[in-house]
Amino acid sequence: MVSPGSFKNDFGIDVMQKIEIIPAIDIIGGKCVRLSQGDYASQKVYNEHPLEVARMFEDAGLQRLHLVDLDGARQKQIVNYKVLETISTRTSLTIDFGGGLKSDNDLRIAFECGAAMVTGGSIAVTHPETFVEWLLSYGPERIILGADVRDGKIAVSGWQEESSLDIFPFIKGYMEKGIRKVISTDIRMDGMLAGPSYDLYNEMLDEFPELFLIASGGISCMDDILKLAENGVPAVITGKAIYEGRLTLKELGKYMARVS
């Protein structure tokens, strides 16, 4: 990452820290969809060809992609690996992949199909010994912890189930085992276009200052992203705001050009 640079938002506020912007593609049935608050019944198809969407992100100057296999999350095994393979071989995007990674074979398929990183959420709750083995085998640059939360509790299985685990001890335990990157979504905010959970992320960074926190959920406009940057959040995932036209690829490209 480059040294932090200054970028003025529309209100003249200086953002002194670069934030990595990661667009998201969620897949159901091979199509690009978005949900609201993790509800599969709320799915809306935005494009039947995820590669087209990925190429638009690439053309805008974005370098990363968060690719989620929602079918896999629900079926508890990797499903849409062909979408991953197509995007990884036909774009230059650096992809982190999640959804349905429950076994060593799932992990192998994800990496063989082009994932640079994988995100493990449910597996870190249900089979922590397996997740720790992955972390030791592949290292903290390739294994990301998914710490998605609803009312302070970790949620699993595509957010269809809530665990009894409190989020802060959960993150702390895995940081002690070597995790450095965490994607955290406040499920109540996801897909609602009402702004992210600033207080939650501020608490996380206060508690874990060395954490590479990737905020997710609720982004409604560019100023949401800039405020996260002001607060010291190093990376953010955004999806629905782009698909709904609240956040344009032109804006994202302009930001990337200013801070690179």
Active site residues: 26, 148
CA distance 27 to 109: 17
CA distance 58 to 240: 17
Report whether 202 contacts 179 (CB < 8 A): no
CA distances from 140 to 168, 211, 246 (A): 19, 11, 33
